[in-house]
């Protein structure tokens, strides 16, 4: 009898134990560790926060050390220094003419870059430090680990048991009713550059699983020009004087067709082979703006090959090709920092691409693309309702996959047209064209599969204050009330919706978080390129002073004008009223531009 009671007691204890286990919440689901502290779980309901080198201590890394206390007291808020950098132009004109400019640019580069972990830390398969997460470059890296699988809600412990339907979310908060132009004056030249440039490292490879990237390039390698494999590169090369294959149409150089360079390109079956351009990135046949940039870089590559061939008549095809590629990588980085990021920032401080500013500073010349950066950079609200080419309007149905727009009008006309047409505002919501809603839905659904942490957790990771309420987040009441009814808690708001719906800076293209989270990824990726290292950054790497100077003097205007017969007005912003609007009657611009 006693044995029966003992067995019954064991059964009851097992039941109670299983009940307790099923109701025990993983303590790391509360995200208790602050200031970049790492949560380590012990037993079922115990954890420790590793506060090493955070500048804080205590159970949850919340007590500042002396220098952290001083730093917190003296550090201005991001909104304050954004205000200073975008006002008082006369002061910045003086600063830009002195050595102080170099000091401030160096500070901006180091502070921003230091926010990105290097070496990389996590990926979508490993939410803790591991050799696999470091060494397997088939994955995007991650700045924050995934939300643990055993948390009670999708965002940890906050919010509702189920996230709102992604399609309904996009339809309600992102869909465009009326086009909202970018108050900073960004144009389609900027929009297509962003799309063209980022497709060299944002190459999600869903066929392999969650969080994978196609190829092995994790930065500015110009794989969108040369291909992401040696086989594709060789198919696109002419193997003569270092040049790439091309075709001549109406006296101008364009990418070859897939007939002459049989690489895989994504085109609908309705587009005949002789109309399909062969380019480094397989999706570039989608938009004439992408084809235009592919054409410009093709011409620039072959032009630089001619310059190097003249300087080095003994060089063979391979050395000419490889050195030209390095020069074009340098040109790209300079254009991105001094034209593209400069415009996007709205700063009166004149940014500068000078790798020597970081020499002597602890800096790692290697980059890994993060899944958060990929999510952040879905800027499809830039796209207009229609595309205006030299006075003629094209809707999406007759603009997509239409290579004839490029060859019939020519590069000059497209540059002029895209420069003059304003792009859409990215932040604030309600500005995504109905044809593009499915893309935003896909981004949100992907973030859920990857279990990205909440928008507020990312704000804290990048040194920003977490929002206390949806009204604080949006700056108004109606949308805030709608979001609260869907998410239940501001700490449950998702990363991508947060970036697009956040209240924007005055007269700005987006809000604080997009700038403060996006800029570190961008600058680390650019300045972490090998060509910026002390071993590479010298004339001999680029074939001598002539090649080095091509990089040092690069600009978006020069890139275009050296590769067309007549120089159009080219910029990343729409021309001011009464400004340059028409193609110049001058002949091809000289190398001294």
SS3 of residue 473 by DSSP: helix
Q: What is the pLDDT of residues 113-170, one digit of tens each?
A: 889 998 899 998 899 999 998 988 888 899 999 999 999 999 999 999 999 999 999 9
Whether 352 and 471 have beta carbons less than 8 Å apart is answered as no
CB atoms within 10 A of CB 345: 18
Q: What is the pLDDT of residues 333-378, one digit of tens each?
A: 999 999 999 999 999 999 999 999 999 888 888 888 899 999 999 9
Distance CA 331, CA 553 (A): 8
Distance CA 439, CA 432 (A): 10
Active site residues: 199, 377
Structure tokens at 205: 């490879």
Whether 579 and 569 have beta carbons less than 8 Å apart is answered as yes
Q: Is 587 exposed, middle or buried (0-12, 13-18, 19+ CB in 10 A)?
A: exposed
- Rounded to the nearest integer, the mean pLDDT of the chain is 90
Place of tokens 């021309």: 575
- Comparing CA positions, the residue from 429, 196, 190, 358 lying closest to residue 291 is 196
Q: Which is higher by pLDDT, 404 or 579?
A: 404
CB atoms within 10 A of CB 519: 19
Residue 206 has pLDDT above 80, yes or no: no
Structure tokens at 413: 């006309």
Distance CA 39, CA 458 (A): 16
SS3 of residue 51 by DSSP: coil
Q: What is the pLDDT of residues 514-525, one digit of tens each?
A: 999 999 999 999
Q: Point out which residues pair with 248 in neighbouring strands.
A: 253
Peptide bond preceding 462 in cis form (omega within 30 of 0): no
Range scoring the smallest mean pLDDT among 6-20, 204-218, 302-316: 6-20
CB atoms within 10 A of CB 489: 17
Residue 455 has pLDDT above 50, yes or no: yes
Q: Which is higher by pLDDT, 422 or 133?
A: 422
Whether 487 and 169 have beta carbons less than 8 Å apart is answered as no
- Comparing CA positions, the residue from 495, 468, 493, 496 lying closest to residue 483 is 493
3-state class percentages of the chain: helix first, strand second, coil last, to nearest 5: 45, 10, 45
């Amino acid at each position: 009898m006693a044995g029966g009671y003992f067995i019954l007691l064991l059964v009851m204890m097992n039941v109670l134990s299983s009940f307790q286990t099923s109701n025990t919440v993983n303590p790391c689901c509360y995200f208790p560790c602050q200031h970049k502290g790492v949560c380590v779980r012990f037993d079922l309901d115990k954890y420790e926060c590793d506060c090493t080198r955070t500048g804080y201590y205590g159970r949850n890394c919340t007590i500042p050390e002396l220098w952290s206390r001083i730093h917190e007291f003296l550090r201005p808020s991001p909104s304050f220094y954004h205000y200073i950098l975008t006002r008082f132009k006369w002061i910045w004109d003086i600063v830009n003419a002195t050595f102080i400019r170099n000091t401030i640019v160096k500070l901006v580069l180091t502070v921003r870059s230091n926010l990105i972990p290097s070496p990389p830390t996590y990926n979508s398969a490993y939410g803790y430090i591991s050799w696999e997460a470091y060494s397997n470059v088939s994955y995007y890296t991650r700045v924050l680990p995934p939300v643990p699988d055993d948390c009670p809600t999708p965002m940890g412990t906050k919010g509702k048991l189920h996230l709102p339907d992604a399609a309904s979310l996009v339809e309600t908060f992102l869909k465009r009713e009326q086009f909202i132009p970018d108050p900073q004056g960004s144009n389609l030249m900027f929009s297509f550059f962003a799309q063209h440039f980022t497709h060299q490292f944002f190459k999600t490879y869903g066929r392999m699983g969650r969080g994978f990237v196609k190829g092995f390039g994790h930065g500015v390698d110009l794989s969108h020009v040369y291909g992401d494999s040696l086989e594709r590169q060789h198919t696109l090369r002419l193997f003569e004087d270092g040049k790439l294959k091309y075709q001549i149409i109406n006296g101008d150089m364009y990418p070859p067709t897939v007939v002459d360079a049989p690489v895989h390109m994504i085109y609908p079956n309705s587009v005949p082979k002789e109309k399909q351009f062969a380019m480094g990135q397989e999706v570039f046949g989608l938009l004439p703006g992408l084809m235009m940039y592919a054409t410009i870089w093709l011409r620039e590559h072959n032009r630089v090959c001619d310059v190097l061939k003249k300087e080095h008549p003994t060089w063979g095809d391979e050395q000419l090709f490889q050195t030209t590629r390095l020069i074009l990588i340098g040109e790209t980085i300079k254009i991105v920092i001094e034209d593209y990021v400069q415009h996007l920032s709205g700063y009166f401080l004149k940014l500068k691409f000078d790798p020597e500013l970081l020499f002597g500073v602890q800096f790692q010349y290697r980059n890994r693309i993060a899944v958060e950066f990929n999510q952040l950079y879905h800027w499809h609200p830039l796209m207009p309702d229609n595309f205006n080419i030299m006075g003629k309007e094209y809707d999406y149905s007759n603009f997509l996959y239409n290579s004839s727009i490029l060859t019939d009008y020519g590069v000059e006309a497209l540059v002029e047209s895209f420069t003059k047409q304003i792009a859409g505002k990215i932040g604030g919501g309600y500005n995504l064209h109905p044809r593009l809603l499915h893309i935003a839905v896909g981004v949100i659904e992907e973030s859920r599969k990857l279990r990205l942490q909440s928008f507020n957790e990312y704000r804290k990771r990048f040194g920003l204050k977490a929002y206390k309420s949806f009204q604080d987040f949006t700056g108004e009441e109606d949308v805030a009330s709608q979001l609260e009814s869907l998410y239940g808690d501001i700490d449950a708001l998702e990363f991508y919706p947060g970036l697009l719906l956040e209240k924007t800076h005055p007269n700005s293209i987006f809000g604080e978080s997009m700038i403060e989270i996006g800029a570190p990824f961008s600058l680390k990726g650019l300045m972490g390129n090998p060509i910026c290292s002390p071993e590479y950054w010298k004339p001999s790497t680029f074939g001598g002073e002539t090649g080095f100077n091509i990089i040092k003097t690069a600009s978006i205007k020069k890139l275009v004008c050296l590769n067309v017969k007549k120089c159009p007005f080219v910029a990343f912003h729409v021309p001011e009223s009464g400004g340059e609007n028409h193609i110049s009657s001058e002949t091809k611009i000289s190398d001294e531009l």
